Amino acid sequence: MPGTHTSNEYASEAIQNYLKAIYHLNAGGHRASGQEIAAAVKVSAPGVTKMLQHLAANHLIFYKPYQPVSLTELGERIALEVIRHHRLLELYLMESLGYGWEQVHAEAERLEHHISEDFENSIERLLGSPEYDPHGDPIPTRDGRMPRVPTETLFSQSEGTTVVIRRVTDEDPNLLVYLAERHLRPKAVVYIESREPFGGSLSLIIDGCRERISPDAARSVFVEPTAIESPP
């Protein structure tokens, strides 16, 4: 990314959104099939096929009909630059403009395609070169590196274990309000006290408070083990 502001060379928001969607699907361990991409970008299957052919013709993806799609080096650089814009904007909106963490994703979606390199640099300096956005997602580095993200969910943890929250999914603002009300934010230390049988809710202890969380919400919280062995 240094010295090249690649997304400006491909100004179409649609192209950037496709590349970002393919990156996220592959990074999440999904097969970036035409069907998965169509769901991610909310476009019909014929429209997706036409765009994938266009992206392949411009050397942004590797594409064969009925096969999973992957990004070329150029396609990945563009995707990471847009993701970098998005996550810097989320943090800027929350830290500097007073947005709630449930509001910033949708606003950053609208702005991510339109900021200049100078504006990106200014945000980064103002925020002190941050590594993570408000939801715990890593901000791609200026040279296009993406730190790894945890894949274990809170729901998958056993009773009697203690974990630290690293990130939460950010697409659903109602979910983010729900999590915030229960103090489930990145860096929070959580003790899994008990869980109801047959995939039921979890009882947690966070900062000395007992909270209960639904299975669906627990699947949206990503955690790592911590050295703390007793209830926080």
- Consecutive H or E run containing 184: none
| Domain spans, the chain | 6-74, 154-225
CATH number for 6-74: choose from 1.10.10.10, 1.10.3720.10, 3.40.50.261, 1.10.760.10: 1.10.10.10
User: Does the pLDDT at position 36 exceed 60?
Assistant: yes
Tell me the pTM.
0.88
Mean pLDDT score of the chain? 91
Domain formed by 154-225, architecture: Roll (2.30)
Which tens digits make up the pLDDT trace of 160-169? 999 999 999 9
The CA distances from residue 57 to 14, 53, 197, in Å, are 16, 6, 52
**What single-letter DSSP state applies at residue 132?**
B
The CA distances from residue 200 to 6, 39, 111, 155, 203, in Å, are 46, 28, 39, 10, 10
| pLDDT at residue 1, rounded to an integer | 45
Sign of the torsion formed by the C-alpha atoms of 52, 2, 115 and 172: positive
Which tens digits make up the pLDDT trace of 123-170? 999 999 999 999 999 999 988 889 888 899 999 999 999 999 999 999
